[in-house]
Each structure stands twice: as structure tokens, then as C-alpha cells.
Amino acid sequence: MSLHATIDRVTDRIRNRSHSSRDAYLKKIARAAEEGPRRAHLSCGNQAHVYAAMPDKEDFVATRKPNIGIVTAYNDMLSAHQPYERYPDLIRKAGHAAGATVQVAGGVPAMCDGVTQGRAGMELSLFSRDVIALAAGVALSHDCFDAALYLGVCDKIVPGLVMAAGTFGHIPAVFLPAGPMPSGLPNDEKSKVRQQFASGEVGRDVLMAAEMASYHSPGTCTFYGTANSNQMLMEFMGMHLPGSSFVNPNTPLREALTIAGVERAAAITKLGNDYLPAGEVLDEKAFVNGMVGLMSTGGSTNLVMHIPAMAKAAGILIDIEDFHDISEAVPLMARVYPNGLADVNHFHAAGGIGYMIGQLLEAGLLHPDVKTINGTGLDGYTAEPKLDGARIRWDAGAKDTLNDKILRPASEPFAKTGGLKQLEGNLGRGVIKVSAVAPERHIIEAKARVFSDQEQVKLAFKNGEFTEDTIVVVRFQGPRANGMPELHSLTPMLAVLQDRGLKVALVTDGRMSGASGKVPAAIHISPEASVGGPLARVRDGDVIRLDAVMGVIENLTDTFADRKPVPFDGSDNAEGMGREMFAVFRAVAGPATEGAGVVV
């Protein structure tokens, strides 16, 4: 099948837009590759510091073994990252067996958005991505590594690590996932209890029992939010081994895949014949393939910000129009919560990523001719890993869906488009994800209620103030205002209003997580209100039209354009929970439509 015209056109547009920056980037990593790891040029004292703790340092100093650096996001507070505790020992053994040495180059922070939702700490969440990139950069700055293994799963962790991998693009990079926890309480039941608690129908004891039954063991949360969207993305972009994203932790198959990833890292260093620098994998085609994966699976809107930031680290410039156009061409092939009842384990069992990549390749919706850590060509990612003793073999993956309520072929999708829309109008630019929103809610015209933080919305809901169709405007939530926290804690109460028969929508310069669900939400509105963006001129009672069909976000009030913007008061967000240390980040963060980056 020839490449779909839209995919070809968008790729060319990105390539042309990025010509100068990508050319400069490739020259930069080529110069770094020519120099190679500098450990051979270090003084004896410098080298001794590198090798001092190695148990086999004499053998390493005397030979030309590749040295692999681990950059790990391990901590045992995040269920998704707890399995990484065992990885360094396993990786060292696998590396030694493959003729390499291995060192933990450094650790990076990993915070849990599930813990900080609706709390002050969430205002550090987005910026933690850039801190992760910086920390990974410090780890790799020792210039002693022939390849890097990146251990990370969740929301900001993978994007931050990819930003580092792109910046150190001359170093081969392999991403090693940890896998999702086994299925617990079904996500729709958990969501129902949350709504019942929000409306006062059940007590906190019932809510706590439901949450504990849902989040119950090591591994990624099983709904298809940002963490699992990250894992999908790494496979579509060729940074994981095929079929490795959704294998459960602490299983023989998971361990064998980790060993295979280490062996691959050892094989693609400049010391061998298959040198594959990360910057060559992270090209325009790879990012387009990632966006196709995002749309076809109904993935997290957070990736609409993270992908431009990741791409920029590799000299590639991506705009939200690229997401919109790809979404219009790519069918929605998966129904995974919050876009359906299944979780990622059910998705994986139904055929998973390998099935989807096969279908999308056949439909001409993916670039097949890409470089991946598995070798040249994306067709290898249609294979399924199987255990052959303690080793991995890759067999042909599923050709047919094993559950058409979860996974469908590209020719008979759940929807003809990916469900992500660009919004433009006199309120700015932003996006909306409609794959889980009922069609009758794709257009809403209603009076605005304006709030400056999410706590004000919760109080108004508690006081019973929402009695008519309403567009809830929550402004001063952008990166320069307060770090752009997710507003996911508003979802249950907005869903309650919707279930009562009201037409409601959220309009914000903030974020919603990958679990935003069935309530229409116009998010990432830029320019943000704190820098005088249009949301700062909205008043209570203004009539706003949110039209996800035509891609329009408009304030219909006659006097809107003539008003002065309401000034931003950031005093409530300036300190506490470390926010004072991030003032410099808030001062320089880019717009959400360009990735809200600080370091790229």
C-alpha cells in the first residue's frame, strides 16, 4: 500500500518547517559521534574515578568492551516504577553476558500525578519533565557511555528521557518498559464510585475501597492515560523492542524482554558494525508514526504537548495543526478506558500494538521505512514476543482482532478519525479530544462561568450553583501562571452535571490528563491568560461557542474584543511544595501549543 497522501503531506510540511534546525542538529550529533566516548582521552585519574567501583575494572580497562549507562527513574512510591528496583542487577548480568559493562549513570525524579491531582504539588508536574531531561543530561555528561538504557514509564518521565536521548543523540538509546499492573476493579466501576462520591451518594470508605481495588500492585495504572500512551508511543517510534510495552511486571517474559533490550543496546554501539545513534531513530517519520499511534489508539492529550518538546530536542518542529491533520486521516481502532470499558491488559490480549501497526501499515498510514532499535523497517513491530526457554523469539503477531469490542481493523474502525481536533477562534488556539465524547456534545453554546482555579469550581458545585447549560472557564492555569497542572479532579463533578441533563464543557489554558473522558474539554488554550491571552477577557455570562466539528472556539459577546484583560495574581501559587524553586521555570516556559518547554 502506498503512503496515505495526508501522512506524506504532513511529514513533508514538518520536514520543510524543520529544515534548518534538523540540519544543524544532525551536524551536531555527527561531530559528537566522531569524537566518540571521551573516556579513552581522559587522564588516568579521571578514568580511575569511572572504573573504581566496577567489580571487573581490570578486564574493562584492558579491552574495548562497550560501556552501557543506565538512566533510571526508579522509586518505590510509583507503582509503575517500583519494578525497576531489580533492573540494574539484571541488566548488569545481561550486559556482561553480551560482552559489555554496565553502570547506573544516574537517577531522575519521577512524581506521581495520581497522588498530586488537585494539590499544590501538581504545579510542579509538567516542569518535572524538563527537570528529568536536565537530570538525565547530568548523568550522561560524564561522557563514558557507548549506549544508554532509559528506565521510565509515566506521564512526564518518558518525554523528559526522550528529550535527553535526543539531546545526546549520538548515543544509541534503548527504552525498557516495566509493564502494566494486572487488571483490578474495572475502570468504569471506579469512575462510577467517584461520581457517586462527588454527588454525596457514597462515603469516603466506599471511595477508598474502590480506589485500592483499582490501584493494587506494582505496574502502570491500567487505564489508557498518559503513562500507557507513552509506552505505545515508544513502540510506534521504534524505541522499544516489538511487543514489549504491555507485558506485566515480574514475569518471565518481562525479564526476557529486558535482557533482549540490553543485548540490543550492546549491539548498536559505535564499537560494533550496527551503530545506531538515537538521533537517527528520532527523525520526522518516527514522530509522525508516533502521532498516528496516538490518534489510532485514542491516547492522552498530554502527548500533544510532549511530542513537540521531544521533537524539538532532535531539531524537529511540530505544530498542533500536524496533530489535527493526522487525526482527520487516521481511524480510531481501539476502545480502551476512558474511551471504552477495556483496560490495557485487555487491549494487549486482543492483539495490541502489533496488530494495530500491521493494520496501519497495510492502510498506508505509517512510514514503513524507518530506523528502529530493532533494525530497519517498522514491519518487525507486527511480531509478538514469545518465550523460547529463557530467551525471546518473535513470532508472527495477530492478523485478526481477538475482540472487536476493543480492537478493530483500520477498514472497520470505531470512528473514521482519531478524535483530536484543533480549535481556533477569538479565544486563541487549543485542542479538544472527542473520541470519548458523545456526538451530540461536540457543539455546545452556553453562558460562561469564569474561575481562576479549580477549587473555586469545586466550591460552586458543592453550593449547587450549576443549574443551567454552562461552559466552565478555568483560566490562569497555563505554564507561566502556575506550571499548568492537570485539572482531572474536575472530571467527576462535571460528569455529574452532564448526567443530570445539562450541557457542560470545560475551557481552559490548563491541562486534562489522558483520563479526561466524556466531558468536552477545550484545553491548552494559547496564548494563556496570565500573559494577557483572550481568556483573561472572558466574563461571567458571556456566550461561548465550542464547536469541535468545525474546530472553533469563540466568545460571541459583542464587547469581548474591546475589554482589558484581567491581570494575573500569582501570589497563591508562588510558594509551598517547592513552587518557589520553580519561579524561573514559570518565567521562561514556552506556550502549550509549542510544548511548554523550558530547556528545549
CA distance 165 to 149: 10
Q: How far apart are CA 63 and CA 82, in angstroms?
A: 35
* Beta strand extents in 131-277 (DSSP E only): 147-151, 173-176
pTM, whole model, 2 decimals? 0.94
Contacts with 207 (C-beta within 8 Å, 6 or more apart), sequence order: 193, 194, 197
CB 556 within 8 A of CB 546: no
Q: Say whether 522 sits in a helix, a strand or coil.
A: strand
Which letter, b or e, does each residue of 324-343 get, where b requires 16 or more Cβ atoms within 10 Å of its Cβ?
bbbbbbbbbbbbbbbbbebb
* Phi, psi for residue 430 in degrees, rounded to 5: -165, -165
**pLDDT at res. 210:** 86
Three-state DSSP class for 485?
coil
Using alpha carbons only, what angle is made at residue 67 by residues 29 and 100, rounded to the nearest 5 degrees?
A: 130
Looking at the DSSP assignment, which residues form a beta bridge with residue 521?
506
CA 78 to CA 109: how far, in whole Å? 11
Q: What tens-digit pLDDT sequence spans the chain (600 residues)?
A: 799 999 999 999 999 999 999 999 999 999 999 886 666 666 777 777 777 777 766 666 656 789 999 999 999 999 999 999 999 999 999 999 999 999 999 999 999 988 888 889 999 999 999 999 999 999 999 999 999 999 999 999 999 999 999 999 999 999 999 999 999 888 788 888 888 888 889 999 998 998 888 888 999 999 898 999 999 999 999 999 999 999 999 999 999 999 999 999 999 999 999 999 999 999 999 999 999 999 999 999 999 999 999 999 999 999 999 999 999 999 999 999 888 889 999 999 999 999 999 999 999 999 999 999 999 899 999 999 999 988 999 999 999 999 999 999 999 999 999 989 999 999 999 999 988 889 999 999 999 999 999 999 999 999 999 999 999 999 999 999 999 999 988 988 999 999 999 999 999 999 987 545 689 999 999 999 999 999 999 999 999 999 999 999 999 999 999 999 999 999 988 999 999 999 999 999 999 999 999 999
Q: What values do phi and psi take at 462, rounded to 5?
A: -60, -35
Helices marked H in 87-201: 87-97, 113-116, 125-140, 157-167, 187-198
Geometric angle at alpha carbon 133, from 128 and 136, rounded to 5°:
120
What was the pLDDT predicted at 520?
94
List of residues 6+ apart from 55 with CB closer than 8 A: none
Nearest 10 degrees: Cα torsion 574, 577, 583, 589: -110
Annotated binding-site ranges for [4Fe-4S] cluster:
154, 221
Distance, CA of 149 to CA of 129 (rounded, Å): 18
d(CA 327, CA 549): 13
Question: Which residues, at least 6 apart from 255, have a Cβ–Cβ distance to it below 8 Å?
Answer: 90
d(CA 52, CA 61): 11
- Which residue ranges make up the annotated binding site? 154, 221
Q: Rounded CA gap, 121 and 409, in Å? A: 41
Q: Which residues pair with 471 in a beta bridge?
A: 448, 505
Euclidean distance between CA atoms 18 and 136, whole angstroms: 25
Say if CB 106 and CB 71 are below 8 A apart: yes
pLDDT at residue 165, rounded to an integer: 98
Q: What is the DSSP letter of 547?
A: E
What pLDDT score does 327 carry? 97
Cα–Cα distance between 472 and 209 in angstroms, integer? 31
Distances from the Cα of 123 to the Cαs of 86, 119, 583, in angstroms?
31, 8, 11
- pLDDT at position 118: 81
Q: What per-residue confidence (pLDDT) applies to 62?
A: 57
Q: CA separation (Å) from 222 to 113, 197, 213, 546?
A: 15, 22, 12, 31
CB-CB contact of 124 with 155 (8 Å): no
CA pair distance 47, 54, nearest whole angstrom: 12
The Cα–Cα gap between 292 and 7 comes to 9
Q: Which of 93, 379, 75, 68 is nearest to 256 (CA)?
A: 93
* Cα three-residue angle 220-226-231, rounded to 5 degrees: 65
How far apart, in whole angstroms, are the C-alpha atoms of residue 213 and residue 539?
A: 42
Number of Cβ within a 10 Å radius of residue 564: 8
- pLDDT at position 135 is 98
So what's the pLDDT on residue 105? 97
